[in-house]
Amino acid sequence: MTKTELKNLIDAAAGRIKADLVIKNCKIVNVLSGEITAGEVAIFDGKIIGMGNEIYDGKETFDAGGKYLCPGFIDGHIHIESSYISPEELGKIIVPRGTTSIIADPHEIANVCGLTGLKYMLDAAKRTKLNIVYAMPSCVPATPFEDAGAVIEAADMAELLGDENFFGLGEFMNAPGIINCDDKALDKILLAKKLGKLIDGHAPNLTGKDLNAYLSAGVGGDHECTTVEEMHERIAKGMYVLIREGSACHNLKTLIKGVTPTNSRRVLLCSDDCQPKTILELGHMDKNIRMCVEEGIDPITAIQMATINVAESVGIYDRGIIAIGAHADLVLLDDLKTFHAADVWIGGEHVAKDGRYLPEIIPADISSVRGSVRVKNFSVDRLRMNLTGGKVNVIGIEPGGVVTKKYLAEVKRDETGDFIFDPAQDICKVAVIERHHETGKVGLGLLGGYGIKRGAVAVSVAHDSHNIIAAGVSNEEIFCAVEALIKMEGGMVLVKDGKIISMIPLMIAGLMSDLSGEELKEKLDTLHAKAHAELGINDSVEPVMTLTFMSLPVIPEIKLTARGLFDYATFSFIPICAS
């Protein structure tokens, strides 16, 4: 800010010159004082300069009609890539819902394209009015047991981590690395501390002294709580806890029971992973706030959890509030029950009205992040198992999240030891195929609870290393789906009887589409409907997103990577056969 700009700001606040915009006749939701007051809000040069009963002249005025003026909502933790649309298109569909900022960890694209992917995300962020605050991916790959498209060590991240667009290190999924003082993990922690950056956490099932060791490194927040007991321990020990409610994980109704008037300021709302279908039909942060109120939380407390609490947790003190000098990110709500956003301003600019995004979108160039699917020596024979016994370890899908259960089952085998699918048993074959460096690696496992009865599903989204993951009733069906996916350079494919019945290309790193959110939603609706109706996948299972998390080894209890079956409890690979 120049001296002239500062003088003009002061003059406008003093009423000596006109404000740019005055929003009149509104009920101001003050998350600092916890009060709602009638009045107006004056804005100059993108900042709030007046509020309440102070009367300002504005170059432009807006009559709020007595509605509630609230700070713009902030998603405390999200992976843009998991929406399957670009940053620009995500902004287009969540800003009209009242979300003006997101705290985004781009570790999905970093695992595919490394620093090139991060630079694309930075460029794309400049092309949306949505304020995107990035975290530097801390674990690329998430563990040393995976095959990602890139490896990012402390020395690689130093330049970008120092950038103002990065608030700190993203979720540190390699908790054992910190607890056991792994050199590479500690190098990243020390770099963040040297640069004065924050460290986000990822600590499922961590408690007691192990949690203490993890926190002692400076980890500040966690979105992996699944019980109130975990939540209370983390808050008591100094963490922020993020309550997650998105498309795949639904923890809000469980954890909201642990929120009290005395601990609510340490609680944040986030989506983590949110598809266009969820956003366009149910909402984004507006939905999460609404759910909190429906569960008995005071409306102002609920709003705080999606505004000031998030902003303070990442050291952004001029957003998430309506206060003098704050960035004028504002949402006009019809009421404090539905939380429907009638109008949205970002930096004082009117960016959405009645659910419509107003600015023009000029997409970023995606050429640097295309062509990311590279597979070598893949054939139907690579999908054959050699089971030495009928008792096997199974990845069991748990409803409502991405946590799995390890259980034992007796399955049928053919004369060569390969798995034989039995539709009455609800166990299918699952495969992860390395797609970054043509290593030829193929990991095989068995998946329970998916419900598939015919055909196969293949996706180039497979958290967090994002190899190809496929599940199906036979080797031939799985092979057909994977081959089609390779040919279209990534995406989602459904196959039945050796024929493609639905497909969605994901041209951006094999993770995101170049379609609009609305267009992608229509295609996903069709794909989901066919997955349930024609392939028989359980109605209670989201057929794509659920599958994409079956390869995430940092989430309990058992997952599959391109190297084989991985047990979270022992943090090691285990055989398929249990005897």
Chosen domain end from 16, 46, 66 = 66
Please check whether residue 342 lies inside any domain of the structure: no
pLDDT at 129: 98
Q: Are residues 497 and 425 in the same domain?
A: yes
Please check whether residue 339 lies inside any domain of the structure: no
Query: Are 534 and 500 in contact, with CB atoms under 8 Å apart?
Result: no
- Rounded to whole angstroms, how far apart are CA atoms 67 and 27? 6
pLDDT at 161: 94
Chosen domain end from 23, 46, 66 = 66
Q: H/E/C letters for each residue in 522-540?
A: HHHHHHHHHHHHCCCCCCC
Residue 531 in tokens: 């997955």
Cα 458–Cα 487–Cα 124 angle in degrees, nearest 5:
80
- Rounded to whole angstroms, how far apart are CA atoms 473 and 456? 6
Please check whether residue 362 lies inside any domain of the structure: no
Distance in Å from the first CA to the final CA of the chain: 69
Query: Are 555 and 549 in contact, with CB atoms under 8 Å apart?
Result: yes
Cis bond leading into 477, ω under 30°?
no
Please check whether residue 331 lies inside any domain of the structure: no
CATH code of the domain in which 33 resides: 2.30.40.10
DSSP 363-413: PPP-GGG-------S--GGGG----SSSEEEEEEEPTTSS-EEEEEEE-EE
pLDDT at 530: 98
- pLDDT averaged per 10 residues in sequence order, the chain, 579 residues: 95 97 98 97 98 95 98 98 97 98 97 96 97 96 89 93 92 93 96 96 94 98 95 98 91 96 98 94 97 98 98 97 98 98 98 97 96 94 94 91 91 96 96 97 97 98 96 98 97 98 98 96 96 96 92 92 94 91
- Rounded to whole angstroms, how far apart are CA atoms 440 and 333? 53
Q: Taking each helix axis from N to C terminus, what angle separates 107-125 and 154-161, rounded to the nearest 10 degrees? A: 20
pLDDT at 15: 96
- Rounded to whole angstroms, how far apart are CA atoms 21 and 330? 12
* Domain count across the chain: 3
Q: Are residues 103 and 125 in the same domain?
A: yes
Which residue segment(s) compose the domain that 540 sits in? 370-574
- Rounded to whole angstroms, how far apart are CA atoms 501 and 494? 6
Q: Are residues 145 and 289 in the same domain?
A: yes
Please check whether residue 210 lies inside any domain of the structure: yes
Residue 52 in tokens: 């309440």
Q: Are residues 405 and 532 in the same domain?
A: yes
Please check whether residue 399 lies inside any domain of the structure: yes
Please check whether residue 116 lies inside any domain of the structure: yes
Q: Are residues 302 and 376 in the same domain?
A: no
Query: Would you give the distance in Å from CA 31 to the centre of its chain?
Result: 25
CATH code of the domain in which 132 resides: 3.20.20.140
pLDDT at 400: 65
Contacts 24+ apart (CB under 8 A), 472-476: 472/428, 472/429, 473/421, 473/423, 473/428, 473/429, 474/421, 474/429, 475/380, 475/383, 475/384, 475/418, 475/429, 476/380
Residue with tokens 């004056």: 42
- Rounded to whole angstroms, how far apart are CA atoms 459 and 469? 6
Q: H/E/C letters for each residue in 6-49?
A: HHHHHHHHHCCCCEEEEEEEEEEEECCCCEEEEEEEEEECCEEE
Q: Are residues 158 and 265 in the same domain?
A: yes
Q: Are residues 212 and 240 in the same domain?
A: yes
Q: Are residues 128 and 165 in the same domain?
A: yes
Q: Are residues 255 and 385 in the same domain?
A: no
Please check whether residue 364 lies inside any domain of the structure: no
Chosen domain end from 66, 93, 108 = 66
Q: Are residues 423 and 535 in the same domain?
A: yes
Quick check: helix, strand or coil at residue 300?
helix
